[in-house]
Amino acid sequence: MTRSLHAANLLTLLRLVLVPFVILAILDGRHTLALALFAVAAFTDVLDGAVARRFHLATPLGARLDPVADKCLLSGVFLALAGVGAVPWWLVGIVFGRDLYLLAGAATVMLLTPVREFPPSIWGKASTLVQIVTVVASMAGHSSAMLWPCAAFTIWSGIHYTWRAFRVWRHPR
């Protein structure tokens, strides 16, 4: 096995493979299956990082692939949930808008500074957790309690990343 193709990265790849199956289960109204597949995918997110740290398997591929897998999973699930009316489209707009905004910001920082790494912030991690809870609540038919907290955490994490980007811009490493 190559240095990049190991257990941690295989778990990340499994998360990517599960994405269309979770989405199809949501669109087909198979809520229990969707929730089970989503739980497995979310568990791979926890497990891949733990395996990489425990066995010193962190690689540049894994560092780049993990957030891509997370975004594919959450973005796809939010789109599917909005498609079946389980979450409002405005929330999908906030989630997607923040992600596109962060991509544009990272591209700008990379273009204008020597910075090439963008570690997640505590607010970014909190936002992801709240988005996951919102997805689970929505799959269980109880999304209304999580809509505003999800929107607030998503927006706040975007603001926090902006603040970090300005700090990096002023003092690039």
Residue 15 has pLDDT above 50, yes or no: yes
pTM of the complete model: 0.89
Alpha helices (H) in 55-144, listed in sequence order: 60-83, 89-112, 122-139
pLDDT digit string, tens, across residues 102-135: 999 889 888 988 888 888 899 999 999 999 999 9
pLDDT at 173: 62
Are the beta carbons of 45 and 70 closer than 8 angstroms?
yes
pLDDT at 2: 54
Q: Which helix (H) or strand (E) holds 78?
A: helix 60-83
